[in-house]
Amino acid sequence: MFHSHNAYMHIQDPASQRLTWNKPPKSVLVVKKIQDASLLQPFKELCVFLTEQKNMIVYVESKVLADTAIAGDESFGAVIQKFCTFREDLDDISNRVDFIICLGGDGTLLYASSLFQESVPPVMAFHLGSLGFLTPFKFDTYQSQVTQIIEGNTAIILRSRLRVRVVKKGIIMTNGDSEGSRKSMQYQVLNEVVVDRGPSSYLSNVDLFLDGHLITTVQGDGVIVSTPTGSTAYAVAAGASMIHPNVPAIMITPICPHSLSFRPIVVPAGVELKIMLSRDARNTAWVSFDGRKRQEICHGDSITITTSCFPVPSICFRDPVNDWFESLSQCLHWNVRKKQNYLCSEEEEF
């Protein structure tokens, strides 16, 4: 019989994680949805506030300034002069930014996440787009909210990401000889990895390995491997449970599976999943990462997925639990229904 006085585990309360600065933040990256005219005014206001009132160094992407509505605004010129700019593919700003402010919808936060392949600065996200699952802040009180974050008094939630490695088994011709070469690419994914059948009319057939063991073959339109953050995105539409982002898990959800008994499953964070085309698959498959970098997966290629060491620290509006339930009702109208009428007893009728 197992017996120990100290055998119980102490589970940390998810709401207890706070953002604290070692030294006051000096620089901020402002990520804005491109080609959205409704964001121009908020963007300019925020940048003026950050540079002139808060003396922050503001980083923006070069392509944001390519917009004539920003570059051509003379009254905004003094602020533009102070901007630090960078290019998405070329410049590494990971050590130069203290925190990030996102203006737009959930896609803007997914994009901000993709800019950081290793550690991510804390992200404050304003919902000025159509979906506000990851974006709890309203813009109208931005000054007091931003001030609070700079002062370092706020709850934070660590959203786990997936580290995905794609190994392509290509063939390179050298001096007339063909030799196998392996090309490997890595991605950090906040919502989900989707493997699907692409343009083919056949079902896709992929093998799913967990820590090296073949678990099952997925036959259907495809499979979604998601984080808890991604559970309320594509996965929930395909029939998965919604999982709070503080739960350490990886979710595997088939898309329209051929077998009706294939239910979505949840496995522990930290396991290694591997997806490969089945030997008898009639066609190739396609993979995408948070909806980007879509590419074909052929026989011999592999996709390896595990929990990343680099989560996205998201700044909460109130706290991780309240924010999440708020977003469930706002974005998905979760459990919004008509109440049954009160039934009065027979005695009360007379």
- Identify the CA nearest to 118 among candidates 186, 193, 194, 22: 186
How does DSSP assign 108-133, residue by residue?
A: HHHHHHHT-SS----EEEEE-SS--S
- Please give the Cα distance from 26 to 6 (Å, whole number): 44
Structural tokens at position 80: 């533009």
H or E element that contains 321? helix 320-332
Cβ pair 26, 56 in contact under 8 A: yes
Alpha-carbon distance 20 to 100, whole Å?
Answer: 15
What is the distance of C-alpha 23 from the center of its chain? 28
**Beta-bridge mates of residue 101:** 30, 124
Which 8-state DSSP code applies to residue 248?
-
Strand partners, 215: none
The answer to whether the CB of 226 falls within 8 A of the CB of 291 is no
Let me know if 140 is a catalytic residue.
no
Tokens matching residue 138: 């309203």
Sheet of 312-315, strands arranged across: 18-19, 154-159, 312-315, 123-127, 99-104, 27-32, 57-61, 84-86
For residues 159, 321, 127 and 158, what is the CA-based torsion angle, rounded to 10 degrees?
Answer: -20
- The catalytic position among 36, 89, 92, 106 is 106
Residue 167 and residue 150: Cα distance in Å, rounded?
Answer: 42
The backbone torsions φ and ψ at residue 224, rounded to the nearest 5 degrees and listed phi first, read: -115, 125
| Eight-state DSSP code of residue 150 | H
The residues annotated with a catalytic role in the active site are: 106
